[in-house]
Structure 1
Amino acid sequence: MSRVLPPTEYYASLPKSITGAGAILHDEHGRFLLVRPNYRSDTWEIPGGGLEHGEYPWQAVCREVKEELDLELTPGRLLALDWVPPQPDGRPALANFLFDGGYITQDDADKRLSLQTDELSEWRLAGPEQWNKLMAPHMARRLHACADALRTKSTAYLHHGWDPANPAH
């Protein structure tokens, strides 16, 4: 017979995961705003980042976009939730929430965005044909799913960028 663990021991025994939140800012041509982090010069990302202790994903995306781009954001609906399993390099599992960050034009971005240069080196509006070249494969798949969610007014549930009901891998 197994013994019942006290709550603190039980919670300490559970798997660990981290949570992130990102914003999909988009234009009339289906391009999404991408940012290039200083710490990863080989790939682009969307604005966003990890949740702080006690923070909700919606709050985190607002905070991160303000910190990274000096842009006040009121996110729209959830476009995708992507579950990334633990990685071989030791990263724990990740739940990433992607919100509709709203409409932005090139002119708006030129006038309104101010990069946090400690973390980001540049930004650009990039279309679906560029995502596979600029981003890690799972992140590009995630953006394609967000484009579909915007078009169909749905929400995507993903496993490392793949639709688990229709995996293409």
Structure 2
Amino acid sequence: MTSGRLPPAEFYATLPRAIAGAAGLFHDPDGRVLLVQPSYRTDTWLIPGGHMDPGEYPWDTARREIKEELGLDVRPGRLVAVDWVPPQDDGRPALVNFIFDGGTLTAHDAEHHLNLQADELTAWRLCAPDEYDQFLAPYMARRIRACMDALHTGQTVYLQHGRPPQAPTD
């Protein structure tokens, strides 16, 4: 230690930890979103995606996860949203999730081209906005609504647990 500073490795060890993930948002021309039902969670549906491997870029994670989970070899489109999820009561560290435009996927295309990863996913569905609250956890329903708005406006949104950050009040 010099000048009261920690060596870099020790300093980095004092910083908070976060994990990262990436996903693809597929949608049909009617505005429905592709959801998948994970075998490890029966209480909610998700969009295709997962955690980043060490050294992996978010876009590469989305592409890998889409191929692994759905059997689709696609190049995700633009970044639609970044969602920061705070640490959870069950011990999960904070999560930063990158959501990319997966593109248009019709019911016909899904029926003929999806090949779900059998040990991880049990079903898929195209979900209309009025069904989000029925199939998704509240933060995920908020995230998907914000992502669909971002797709329509051409914006990329920053979210905090599915919500835009609150403006400071004076």
TM-score range, shorter chain: over 0.9
Q: Kindly tell me: are residues 166 and 130 of structure 1, through their superposed partners in 2, closer, same or farther at Cα, counting changes over 3 Å?
A: farther
Q: What is the match of residue 148 of structure 2? A: 147
Residue type of the partner of 1:129? D
- Residue 73 of structure 1: how far off its partner (Å): 1.3
- Residue 88 of structure 1: how far off its partner (Å): 1.0
Secondary structure of the residue aligned to 2:29 is: coil
Q: What is the match of residue 163 of structure 1? A: 164
Q: What is the match of residue 122 of structure 2? A: 121
- Matched residues, number: 167
Q: Deviations over 1:104-128 (max 9, x none)?
A: 1100011100000100000011011
Secondary structure of the residue aligned to 2:119 is: coil
Which ranges of 4 or more aligned residues in structure 1 deviate by more than 3 Å? none
Tell me if 1:109 matches 2:100.
no
Q: Deviations over 1:4-51 (max 9, x none)?
A: 101110111110000010100010000010000000011000000000
Gap runs ≥5 in structure 1: none
Distance 1:19 1:82 in 2: 10
1:44-55 aligned at under 5 Å gives the runs 44-55=45-56
Secondary structure of the residue aligned to 1:114 is: coil
Of all paired residues, the percent bearing the same amino acid is 58
Q: What is the match of residue 4 of structure 1? A: 5
Distance 1:102 1:10 in 2: 42
Residue type of the partner of 2:111? D
Residue type of the partner of 2:103? G
- Residue 165 of structure 1: how far off its partner (Å): 3.7
Distance 1:136 1:75 in 2: 24
State the TM-score, normalized to the length of structure 1. Answer: 0.96
